[in-house]
Amino acid sequence: MVIIIIFFLCHWFLSLFSQTFFLHRYASHKMFQMNKFWERVFYTITFLSQGSSFLNPRAYAIIHRMHHAYSDTEKDPHSPHFIKDVWGLMIQTKNIYLSYRNFQTEPEEQFRDRYPSWAFLDNIGDMWLTRMFFIAFYIAFYIIFADHWWLYLLLPIHFLMGPLHGAIVNWCGHKYGYSNFDNSDHSKNSIPLDFLMLGELFQNNHHMKPNDANFAKRWFEFDPTYPIIIVLHKLRIIRLRKL
């Protein structure tokens, strides 16, 4: 059981780190810069950690910028105030994501930009064969190490890790918690759940200052990802827009 719990927690937090650090703070907001080598290193980490739920950085960034531009309005890709449940939010987000991932829809002028792109990994990550390979790996790992039947209930979370993280952030972060700022939307800070989401649930703070790499704003708030960003900046792996 211990091995399964460690595996689950590693997958949860590595996948979540890839989403908040690479897809959100880098691809969507350009809070820092990195050279092509490091971009591909973190691209690969994102691919491996998200596995069967790998999210294309370009499509993710476009949708996220739409979310900021139209926060909690009918044009918001995933506002919980226009969708009746979390499942509906995930389905709507998936459909919009697929349209941009497959280049079926050209984004509005304000969302056209240079996004991280690596055609080789994007193509591999988006293949159903690749997604099924990761799913088979998760199942095999559990068959080998799971010693209680209820541990298998964690498998669907592994399969949908990336979209699940997004659903938690967009649902809870716009319905539950408190607000430090009046952003003319419903964004909230959802403590204590935020520790489990590596800073992503400081939605009210983030919507107030979307380009600030530190999502925490008050003395009792802590963004677990920000110290990692500072270390990477000091090591010159990344370069913050402003420190």
Domain coverage including residue 110: 2-240
Are 59 and 77 in contact by the 8 Å Cβ rule? The answer is no
Going from the C-alpha of 162 to that of each of 50, 118, 156, 175, 197, the distances in angstroms are: 6, 19, 12, 20, 12
- In the chain, % helix, strand, coil (3-state, to 5) comes to 60, 5, 35
Of all helices (H) and strands (E), which one includes residue 32? strand 32-33
How far separated are the first and last CA of the chain, in Å rounded? 42
DSSP 117: -
pTM reported for the whole predicted model: 0.93
Q: Which two tokens stand for residue 180?
A: 């430090």
Q: Which residues contact 118 (CB under 8 A, 6 or more apart)?
A: 39, 40, 43
Q: At what angle do helices 128-145 and 2-17 cross, to 10 degrees?
A: 150
**CA distance readout (Å), 45 to 16, 52, 191:** 11, 13, 28
Total structural domains in the chain?
1
What pLDDT tens digit does each residue of the chain (243 aa) get? 899 999 999 999 999 999 999 999 999 999 999 999 999 999 999 999 999 999 999 999 999 999 999 999 999 999 999 888 898 999 899 888 888 887 767 778 777 788 888 989 999 999 999 999 999 999 999 999 999 999 999 999 999 999 999 999 999 999 999 999 999 999 999 987 788 899 999 999 999 999 999 999 999 999 999 999 999 999 999 999 875
